Copies of this chain bind each other. A is one copy, B any other.
Amino acid sequence: MIIDCHGHYTTEPKGLLDYRKRQTAAYDEGRALAPDFKVRDDEIRESIEKNQLRIQRERGVDLTLFSPRAGGMAHHVGNEITSRDWTRACNDMIHRVCTLFPDNFIGVCQLPQSPGVDPASCIPELVRCVEELGFVGCNLNPDPSDGYWTGPPLTDRSWYPLYEKIVELDVPAMVHVSTSCNPNFHHTGAHYINGDTTAFMQLIQADLFKDFPSLRFIIPHGGGAVPYHWGRYRGLAQDMGRPPLSELLKNVFFDTCVYHKPGIELLVEVIPVENVLFASEIVGAVKGVDPETGFNYDDTKRYIEAVETLSGAAREMIYSGNALKVYPRLARRLR
């Protein structure tokens, strides 16, 4: 079985996107606008069948853990209520996809974060998605300011009430930034990768997992710069008197959204196979076909297949075994 742990609904029906435009216009006029739009099942079916489902089938992927468009979370927009309404709309849309295609998609939720707002405000939506909608994980934005990093690090105690609920529900969090309003940071080319690198270094500096031994984070995009600079991170941890990185790897996992074979080779050489989860982030940051290979850049399964040093058992762990451990609610659903 092949599980892609990182897919986004980037082909949303027009009704959802129109609602967002009307919602932000209303906010600018000082009003909130709760979700009021209609999308037909056949619109959803078409948006999925022509895109994510087609690609799943072409590449031989069985199941995608599916969440709202990451760049669309845009937590900096509006206020707490704006974020709550928008998040609910996006998560409901994911739920409809998962209901229409129960064999192919399982939900992962967006959280209604908002800059300067207590992360505990996300708890009701998290509980709703996991307990009522059957979602198996959440995406956690380490920078709700979307490119200015004005909030505290992920290890700050202000996040703790949210982590307590995440642990209680036994769902992992993928640490995933959203769009960038900062002209210095291209969103998928800089902000995403920087967010991954930044989060990992924050985890080195603090004792978050002493306080939450069963909290699990997935760092997407192959862990940002971390595996490439594994020696730097090992050395920094050592110089700072922090525990060896193997300790962090009890709680931190990397996905395989690295879009060329040498990168995937490095990832699986440096990071223990137990900590690597298959993913491709379709339909995502890079959509084109690599003229050097004739295949899509984001067809990460091909790179994993081509790594000669991986045993069949190791590939099986990357493709599904690790995901079933990191997402226990997924394992229960599949049984």
A residues at B contact (CB < 8 Å): 142-143, 147-149, 151-153, 182-186, 188-190, 193-194, 197-198, 201-202, 204-205, 221-222, 224-225, 227-236, 238-239, 258-260, 262-263, 265-266, 269-270, 285-288, 290, 297-298
> Quick one: which of B224, B234, B259 contacts A231, CB cutoff 8 A?
B259
Q: In the complex the two chains form, what is the Cα distance from A310 to B292 in whole Å?
A: 22
Instruction: Specify which of A194, A228, A265, A290 lies most central, judged by the most chain B CB atoms within 10 Å of its CB.
Output: A228
Copies per assembly: 2
**Roughly how many angstroms separate A227 CA and B204 CA in the complex, as a whole number?**
23
Chain B residues with CB under 8 Å of A184's CB are: 142-143, 149, 151-153, 198, 202
Inter-chain contact A288/B229, CB cutoff 8 Å: no
Chosen A-B contacts, 7 in total, with CB atoms closer than 8 Å, are A148-B148, A222-B229, A224-B225, A232-B297, A235-B297, A262-B270, A263-B266
Q: Which of B149, B222, B231 contacts A228 (CB 8 A)?
A: B222
Contact A205 B224 (CB under 8 A): no
Which residues on B sit within 8 Å (CB–CB) of A143? 184
User: Smallest CB–CB gap between A241 and chain B, Å?
Assistant: 10
Nearest chain B residue, comparing its CB with the CB of A225: B225
Best-buried of A152, A153, A190 by chain B (most CB within 10 Å): A190
B285 touches A188 (CB 8 A): no
Asked whether B183 lies within 8 Å of A197 as measured between CB atoms, the reply is no
- Most chain B CB neighbours (cut-off 10 Å) among A183, A193, A225, A286: A225
